[in-house]
Structure 1
């Protein structure tokens, strides 16, 4: 009698395996069918290019992107987000937003009235991070380029043109636990040429 009961119970094992397998397959199909489609990722990696931007499209995309060298750095995502705030603030002429991306010292060196005058006609784009290097603890340097367009009267005195391609090194510093764009000697001698 015990062996008859055991024989009746053994046929349940394959049935349970089949039921569990069908349940798992059904769950996977349902997940794929009803899952929200992912938005395509925004392209944030570029290869260096010397192609000039047509005059009508200048200054180019306002989205900060990076080269493969930069995007492979562990600090890239934070750096890209920080520089996006920095350049968005300049393009929107939003001093408070810009101040949120820079150190207190840098903000003190450029009060709002001076800042607004400096960027009154400036529009920045084609922003590319080429390299990120860590320095002393809590510091980093970022090599980047961007294009600015501005009224000729607002251009630097040494290059009075409407479109400038800038090559700069920004100093970054951790302030109150957050990376910020700092002032200092690395950002004071940028290379620049007419677009």
Structure 2
């Protein structure tokens, strides 16, 4: 009888362990999931919605919701020309590198949308790299130097995100990355 009790106990314990090991994780209900679109919007519908969306790969990262909210506030500040809000989303180094007058000049006609986070990669516990793409429309006179006269630009870049004073912030873009851009 004691042998039967030991065997049954081991089987039940093994079954519970196997159930936990092979359990499918719960879906992330708070993540806005999207896949890259293969169809382009007509120019009149650019830049597209201003909400930050995540691919399933980005949504699998444990910090995905914090990063999505950070980027949402970052792009909202640009779209509403709110320098004070923008300052809450970026590091002190980035604020020092971009004065209010320069920031307002740089983003005076910019409207960003179709924002999609492709990947979130950890560099360390306090540093992430976020691969994202978005569409930007602006006055042709405010086009990037690489695309003179472009009123609509599709961007792909890697944004460094770091913990500063206990909060995730968008850091200065270092020389390790070159943003890709193309006319819409």
Does TM, scored on the shorter chain, surpass 0.5?
yes
Number of aligned pairs?
155
Whether 1:166 aligns to 2:155 is: yes
Does the Cα contact within 8 Å between 2:31 and 2:54 map onto a contact in 1? no
C-alpha distance in structure 1 between counterparts of 2:109 and 2:177, whole Å:
21
* CA-CA distance at 1:125 after TM superposition: 0.1
More helix, by proportion: 1
SS of residue in 1 equivalent to 2:70: helix
List gaps (5 residues or longer) in structure 1: 1-40
Q: TM-score, normalised on structure 1?
A: 0.76
Residue deviations 1:9-40 (CA, integer Å, cap 9, x gap): xxxxxxxxxxxxxxxxxxxxxxxxxxxxxxxx
1:21-100 matches, cutoff 5 A: 44-100=32-88
User: Which position in structure 2 is the counterpart of 1:184?
Assistant: 173
C-alpha distance in structure 2 between counterparts of 1:103 and 1:137, whole Å:
17
Moved over 6 A (4+): none
User: Which position in structure 2 is the counterpart of 1:145?
Assistant: 133
Instruction: Find the structure with the greater CA-based Rg.
Output: 1
List gaps (5 residues or longer) in structure 2: 1-28
User: Which position in structure 1 is the counterpart of 2:123?
Assistant: 135
Whether 1:121 aligns to 2:109 is: yes
SS of residue in 1 equivalent to 2:71: helix
RMSD: 1.5
SS of residue in 2 equivalent to 1:146: strand
Q: TM-score, normalised on structure 2?
A: 0.81
